[in-house]
Each structure stands twice: as C-alpha cells, then as structure tokens.
Amino acid sequence: MTSSSSLFSSGGGAGSSSGANERARKSAISLAFSNGSATGPNAPLRDRLAARSRVTNLGIVLLLSATALSMLLNLRYLALGGASRPPRGFASWSSFHGTTPDELKANLPAPPPGSNRLDHLVIVTGHAIWAGCDFEGRSKDENWILEPYQVGGSIETYWKHIEKGLEIADADPKALLVFSGGQTRTVSLQTEAESYFSLAIASGMNIPTLQGFDFSFNSTSSHSHKSNSKAISASSDDVLGKGAHANAGVPTAKGLAGVRMTTENFALDSYQNFLFSIARFREYTGVYPERITVVGYGMKKSRFEELHAKAVRWPIKNFVRGQKRFHYVGIDDQGDTKPEYEGEKIKGFALFERDMYGCHGRLLSKRRDRNPTRRFHPYYTSAPEIADLLNWCPGDNLGLQGVYRDSLPWDLRVAGELSGWGRATTKFREEHQGKSGWSGVGDSRWLDVGRERQ
C-alpha cells in the first residue's frame, strides 16, 4: 500500500507540476492579449518578446494609408513616368544624354564661322515638296508633289511662307532660317525642307548670310539680287544646274556654307517642326536659340502658342533685349478660310490638346503614314541635352497634366540675365538674394550648354 501509494503520490506530484507550468504559460498568453502585467515594463524580457502584439485601429489606418499611397504612386508612374526610363543598356538618363558621342564629334567640322553668334531661330514649316524646274513655275500644281486636298491654290501660300521666312531672316543678322519637313512622299527622294530650301535659292531673293560672307548669283530672273560683295558667289548655272531640275542642283551650289539657312529633314508634324527645329539649331550652331519665330498657317497659331510651346515649355511671354522670345507669323490661303479654321479645331488642335506630344492614336498613325522610308532623326546625339524630352510620351488623354517636367536648357533658370524668371526660380531668388555664399549659379547641368558656354 505504502509503495503503491507512494508511486501514486509521486505521479500526482509530477502531473501537478506540469499542470502548473501549463497554466502559467496560458496565463502569460492571456495577459499578453489583455495587456496584462506579462507585457508590462516589469515583465521578464522573454515574456515580453514572446507576447503577441495588439493590432490597433490606428495601425490598420496607417497600413491602409501606406497601401493607398503606394498604389497612387504606381498609377502615376505608369501614366507619366514610363517614358522617363532610360533606353536599354543605360543605367540612368544621365548616362545616356549630356554629351555627343566622341566618335560622332570626330567627324564634325567646327560650326560655320559666326554661327555661334546666332540666337534667333526662324522656322518655316513644310507642307509639300516642290519638284519644279524653275522658279517661274512655282505656282503650277504639276511642279509640286501634293496631297489631293492641297490641289488648287495651296502652293501659292507655301511660297508666301518661304518668302516671309527669307525676309525675316535677312533683316536679322542673328537669325538662322530653318526649313522643316521630312521625306513624307513615296515618290520623292527629297524632303519637304530640302525642296523649300531649293525654291528659296532659285527665287533670286536676298539670301540671309553669315557676317563676312555673301551669297549672290548672276541671273536674268526678275527676282534676282546682285551683290557687290565678292566673298562668296555662285553663278546661275551653279545654283540651278545645267539641264537638271533646279531643286536637284541647288545642294551643290557654291557658297552654301555662308548662308544663314539650313534644313531640318525629319519632322512629320507641327510639334516635330517646332521641337526638331530647336534641335537642329543646336546641331548647326552648337547653342540653343533665345528667340523663335514660326512662319506657317494662321489657323495653326493657337496650336503652336497654346500647345506646342507649352509642351516643350518654351517661354512665349518673355522678352529678351526688347524682343519677344516667341512670335508666330500666320499666312493663310486666299479666299474663305472658315472651313479650314473649323477643321483645325477638330482635326488638329483638339487632337494635340489631348495628346500634346503626338505619340498616341491618330497623331502617331499620321506620323507613321508620313514616314514611308523609315527615317530616324539624329537629335538624341546631336542635341543630347534634350534626349529625354525627345523621348517623352506621357499617357494618352493627359493633356497639360502630362507636360514634361524635368530640367531643360532654355528653362528660366536662376543664372543668366537673359533667362527671365519662372515661379520656382523667382521664389529661390527672393529667398537667397543678398545672402552670403550665394553666387546666383543655376542648374549646373547646363553651364556648358548654350549661351552660358560662350
């Protein structure tokens, strides 16, 4: 009995000890859930670490807020930021743009003498291709490569655009005239810009030239201009060619290196006319322009001022040396233009208003249709400071909300008396003006670009 009782008692003692431990463990867990003393400041560290944390309402709100913010940022990135990713093989945009590759620079001569003093970009936008044999035939449709809707009067307007561009550039010795328009027709090897350039030369009008140069030729044309300068000259045969189409002979004319005219051969619509001509100015002169004048249809003035200029953030309301930084010269077809203005609102302005960079839907389709020979522009390398703007394509239908938002060479920066002031830089100047240690230096990425480099 004793033995048996002892054995039973011993077993009971062990069970009691085990049960006590279990009860203690459960008590600790219970206290943890009820914020009891097991998790208080005096509780053992092991118990506090083992205790479960309470999930409060505040914690839930914070987690949901963080999740919502993350989703909004992701949506914003997908809508706006997709185009900001650098091309494959480049870790960042800074490793992609900022300089022209050495291999390309090695093949370039220095800019034409005096071209670094040019600061006024005059753009004549192309609409068709002149393929005539002489200037006198410029008003005949058969001497142009036209779309059906351009037949019957438009070509006279095209010449007026060229004529006005010549007059503006000739009157301003700091202006570079850029004819802009790509190889848009399958039946011509020439670009719109090249044909406009050729027609300008064939006209015999005053040709804008760089300081110290002259371009003149002896021609029997009633439009000819004879210059007394002998620095550079070309005979009419040199200009027009012998038995060749005028616009085929012009590119080999003598003295073209001295003219203040050039071509931009890749634009496929009005937005590209604007941006690519800026890039071509940089490519030709080594600097960016301070002023821009556009010559085109009057019905497209709103498109350029309210959409294209805003898309590239060109300061259209600012002045430099008393001259507006942006000016538009509109010349329309003769006669009733009301249908054209109404059509522009629907087929032009409205499309670019929703898709300011022309990289979606109907505008993108138009570019593809106008690029039958699969041309690629060179401006990623020749105007590398704006490579990311050239590649910018925000989400469709964003309009002004998708405007390119990073730094540009013509920004209204803190440095430079010619720059003017934007809201951000105005605030910065007001906060730092007169403070010691501030030198007024702006965005250092552009200190070696454009006017500040001179």
Q: 252 in a domain, yes or no? A: yes
- Give me the pLDDT at residue 390, please: 93
Q: Answer whether residue 417 shows pLDDT above 50.
A: no
Q: Are 292 and 121 spatial neighbours (Cβ–Cβ below 8 Å)?
A: yes
Residues 335 and 419 in one domain: no
Q: Answer whether residue 250 shows pLDDT above 70.
A: no
Q: 61 in a domain, yes or no? A: no
Residues 315 and 434 in one domain: no
Q: How many domains, the chain?
A: 3
- Give me the pLDDT at residue 23, please: 60
What's the rounded Cα separation, in Å, for the pair 323 and 310? 19
Residues 367 and 316 in one domain: yes
Q: 165 in a domain, yes or no? A: yes
Buried b (16+ CB within 10 A) or exposed e, 114-148: bbeebbbbbbbbbbbbbbbbebeebeeeebbbbee
- Give me the pLDDT at residue 60, please: 78
Q: Are 262 and 191 spatial neighbours (Cβ–Cβ below 8 Å)?
A: no
Q: 222 in a domain, yes or no? A: yes
Q: 62 in a domain, yes or no? A: no
Q: 88 in a domain, yes or no? A: no
Mean pLDDT is lowest, of 256-260, 397-401, 422-426, for: 422-426
Tens digit of each residue's pLDDT (9 = 90 or more) over 82-132: 444 554 555 655 555 556 777 877 888 887 788 888 999 999 999 999 988
Helix, strand or coil for residue 207?
coil
- Give me the pLDDT at residue 419, please: 40
Could you tell me the pLDDT band of residue 17, with boundaries at 50, 70 and 90? Answer: low
**CB neighbours of 403 closer than 8 A, spacing ≥ 6?**
310, 311, 313, 356, 394
Percent of the chain clearing pLDDT 70 (strictly above): 63
- Give me the pLDDT at residue 74, please: 62
Residues 400 and 453 in one domain: no
Q: 1 in a domain, yes or no? A: no
Could you tell me the pLDDT band of residue 134, with boundaries at 50, 70 and 90? Answer: confident
Question: 225 — phi, psi (to 5°)?
Answer: -125, 125
Which residue pairs, CB below 8 angstroms and at least 24 apart, start in 64-69? none
- Give me the pLDDT at residue 440, please: 40
Residue 56 region by backbone torsions, left for phi larger than 0, else alpha for psi between -120 and 50, else beta? beta
**Interhelix angle for 154-171 vs 192-202, to 10°?**
70
What's the rounded Cα separation, in Å, for the pair 403 and 409? 16
Q: 143 in a domain, yes or no? A: yes
Percent of the chain clearing pLDDT 90 (strictly above): 39
Could you tell me the pLDDT band of residue 76, with boundaries at 50, 70 and 90? Answer: low
Residues 366 and 423 in one domain: no
Q: Are 288 and 410 spatial neighbours (Cβ–Cβ below 8 Å)?
A: yes
Residues 419 and 403 in one domain: no
What range defines the domain where residue 442 resides? Answer: 411-454
- Give me the pLDDT at residue 59, please: 75
- Give me the pLDDT at residue 176, please: 97
- Give me the pLDDT at residue 244, please: 39
Please state the rounded mean pLDDT for residues 41-66: 69
CA-based nearest residue to 193, from 108, 111, 284, 258: 284
Residues 347 and 440 in one domain: no
What's the rounded Cα separation, in Å, for the pair 47 and 33? 12
Identify the burial level of 74 via C-beta atoms within 10 angstroms of its C-beta, where 0-12 means exposed, 13-18 middle and 19 or more buried: exposed
Residues 445 and 354 in one domain: no
Residues 237 and 280 in one domain: yes
Q: Are 299 and 287 spatial neighbours (Cβ–Cβ below 8 Å)?
A: no
Q: Answer whether residue 354 shows pLDDT above 90.
A: yes
- Give me the pLDDT at residue 431, please: 56
pTM for this prediction? 0.69
CA-based nearest residue to 355, from 112, 39, 83: 83
Share the mean pLDDT of the chain.
76
Please state the rounded mean pLDDT for residues 204-230: 60
- Give me the pLDDT at residue 330, please: 96
Residues 210 and 154 in one domain: yes
Residues 212 and 327 in one domain: yes
Greater confidence, 303 or 8? 303
Helix, strand or coil for residue 338?
helix
Residues 44 and 183 in one domain: no
- Give me the pLDDT at residue 387, please: 87
What's the rounded Cα separation, in Å, for the pair 123 and 178? 5
Q: Answer whether residue 241 shows pLDDT above 50.
A: no
